[in-house]
Amino acid sequence: MIVEPAPVWKRLLAWVYDGLILTALWLVSGLVAALLAGGEAPPWLVRTIVLMSSVAYFGWSWKVGGKTAGMRAWRLRVVRVDGQTAHLVRHRPPNGGLARLPGANRCHAIHRMGAPAPPDNL
């Protein structure tokens, strides 16, 4: 299946659409930060809430429907070279992602292939 790439103008308009949504999220994030701080919020709090809301928007969009609102509005989709639907995450790490915590066996896959296990004090 041969897939034609989307025109640049459609991609740019999808970015603008998502940018408008992010702007609204950032304004609400600033309001939430000000309410939490009881007045003028410190910059680190505003940045943290803005980052969390941005990651939540894109994460939710990709997890629920595989597209952002801008991509839906302009009927865009991300596909692999062979035309199949691209997946954001293809492999889940062992232990549900907890393998990178201190003390956990960080090289679980390498260890299973016969390589020596790394020390736990890394």
Tens-digit pLDDT profile for residues 30-65? 999 999 999 999 999 999 999 999 999 999 998 888
- The DSSP bridge partners found for residue 79 are 85
Better-scored residue on pLDDT, 1 or 96: 1
User: What is the pLDDT, as a whole number, of residue 106?
Assistant: 45
Better-scored residue on pLDDT, 107 or 11: 11
Among the residue ranges 51-55, 69-73, 86-90, 109-113, the one predicted with the least confidence is: 109-113
Contacting residues for 19 by C-beta, under 8 A, at least 6 apart: none
Contacting residues for 16 by C-beta, under 8 A, at least 6 apart: 70
